[in-house]
Amino acid sequence: MSSKSPPAPPDAASRRAARPTIVYPAGAMPGPDMAVLDSARQTMVKIRDVVVPPRDARAFHVTRGQFFRIVSIDGPQVGDLNLWNAHDLSERFFSGKTRALHATHVSAGDRLWSTMPHLRPMATISHDTLGWYGWDADGAGIHDVIGTRCDPYTKLRLGGAAYDFCCHSNLSRALGAELKVEPGAVEHHVHDVLNVFMCTGFTRDTHQYFMKASPVRPGDFLEFFAEIDLLGALSACPGGDCSATHSSDVAACYPLLIEIFEPDRTTLDSWTWPSPSRYHRRHGGMPG
């Protein structure tokens, strides 16, 4: 904030004393039946896996009703996740609304919501081995939906050199390879990510976005239940554990593993699948 702030009005203290109201209180919306997911998890069998090389990304498909895990292997590594409706790329993960509905960081029981006009759960987080971390003394948490993704455009604006292996470029290459087109032709589909395993927060004094070394260790995983047919892409961030830097070849960087599981479908008989939005989409009509 500028040091040239205007003088506070006489009633500044009382204006600041207004009580906070949670915008979307927990329980305002029916939550996922985690008991159903827990029973389905007991039956699931791994059917496929995909290794994401360091400073690169890979696309993957998950069918509605399957589970998928993002697994740390070899060393602490942050992953940047994009999700699309496998049949319509215009429906994609909506980081901002997910943040508003849940919190700045997500964990088991939270859902990844899609963009309007759909606004429905694309995936539900079914297990998080880092769920113990909670909020640390710096106010940081794990798996944030506040960062966007490292990208070459910001790096250049900040005076850096062009770098081709930021998460934005990695995700563009992976999606381009999946769709068999040049990365530049599909980069507009790449969107704000779920920062898997990333440890972040806002500084208390200036409210600036900060990162610190991820506590993830090999064997840790974040697991999702696919609510719709998904196309995903995961980038192994060039920042590695994001303890110090990103957008360069400096940080130690490790691969990530994506594992896909098929459960016994009868365990999902009582699951409530996401329904289409009931909004009529007239938006108040044409301007008069």
Q: Which stretch binds Zn ion (CB under 5 A): 155-163, 201-209, 231-239, 263-271?
A: 231-239
Question: What is the distance between the alpha carbons of residues 78 and 120, in angstroms, rounded to a whole number?
Answer: 26
Segments of 156-278 assigned E as strands: 194-202, 209-212, 221-226, 230-236, 256-262
Q: Which stretch binds Zn ion (CB under 5 A): 46-54, 146-154, 177-185, 205-213?
A: 146-154
Instruction: Provide the minimum distance between the beta carbon of 195 and Zn ion in the complex, in angstroms, as a whole number.
Output: 8
Near Zn ion by CB under 5 A: residue from 150, 196, 228, 257: 150
237 binds Zn ion (CB under 5 A): yes
167 binds Zn ion (CB under 5 A): yes
Instruction: Provide the minimum distance between the beta carbon of 214 and Zn ion in the complex, in angstroms, as a whole number.
Output: 12
40 binds Zn ion (CB under 5 A): no
The two three-digit tokens of residue 269, written as one number: 């008989």
CA angle (237 as vertex; 235, 243 as ends), nearest 5: 155
81 binds Zn ion (CB under 5 A): no
Instruction: Provide the minimum distance between the beta carbon of 236 and Zn ion in the complex, in angstroms, as a whole number.
Output: 9
Q: Which is nearer to Zn ion, 52 or 228 (CB)?
A: 52
Cα four-point dihedral sign 129, 132, 135, 140? negative
The DSSP letter of residue 261 is E
Q: Which stretch binds Zn ion (CB under 5 A): 31-39, 59-67, 84-92, 145-153?
A: 145-153
Q: Which is nearer to Zn ion, 150 or 174 (CB)?
A: 150
As a dihedral over the C-alpha atoms of residue 92, residue 95, residue 98, residue 103, rounded to 10 degrees, the angle is: 160
* Contact (Cβ atoms closer than 8 angstroms) between residue 77 and residue 54: yes
Q: Which is nearer to Zn ion, 167 or 226 (CB)?
A: 167
Q: Which is nearer to Zn ion, 112 or 242 (CB)?
A: 242
The radius of gyration of the chain from alpha carbons, rounded to an integer in Å, stands at 20
Beta pairing class for 194-202 and 209-212:
antiparallel
Q: Which is nearer to Zn ion, 37 or 242 (CB)?
A: 242
Paired strand residues for 81: 194, 234
Instruction: Provide the minimum distance between the beta carbon of 226 and Zn ion in the complex, in angstroms, as a whole number.
Output: 24
Q: Which stretch binds Zn ion (CB under 5 A): 25-33, 57-65, 234-242, 269-277?
A: 234-242
Instruction: Provide the minimum distance between the beta carbon of 238 and Zn ion in the complex, in angstroms, as a whole number.
Output: 6
Question: What is the distance between the alpha carbons of residues 211 and 199, in angstroms, rounded to a whole number?
Answer: 6
Q: Which is nearer to Zn ion, 163 or 261 (CB)?
A: 163
* Contact (Cβ atoms closer than 8 angstroms) between residue 251 and residue 244: yes
Q: With b meaning 16 or more CB within 10 Å and e meaning fewer, what string describes 74-110? A: eebbbbbbbbbbbeeeebbbbbebbbebbbbbbbbbb
Q: Which is nearer to Zn ion, 74 or 264 (CB)?
A: 74
Instruction: Provide the minimum distance between the beta carbon of 212 and Zn ion in the complex, in angstroms, as a whole number.
Output: 15
Instruction: Provide the minimum distance between the beta carbon of 76 and Zn ion in the complex, in angstroms, as a whole number.
Output: 14
The two three-digit tokens of residue 138, written as one number: 């710096």
Contact set with Zn ion (CB under 5 A): 150, 167, 237
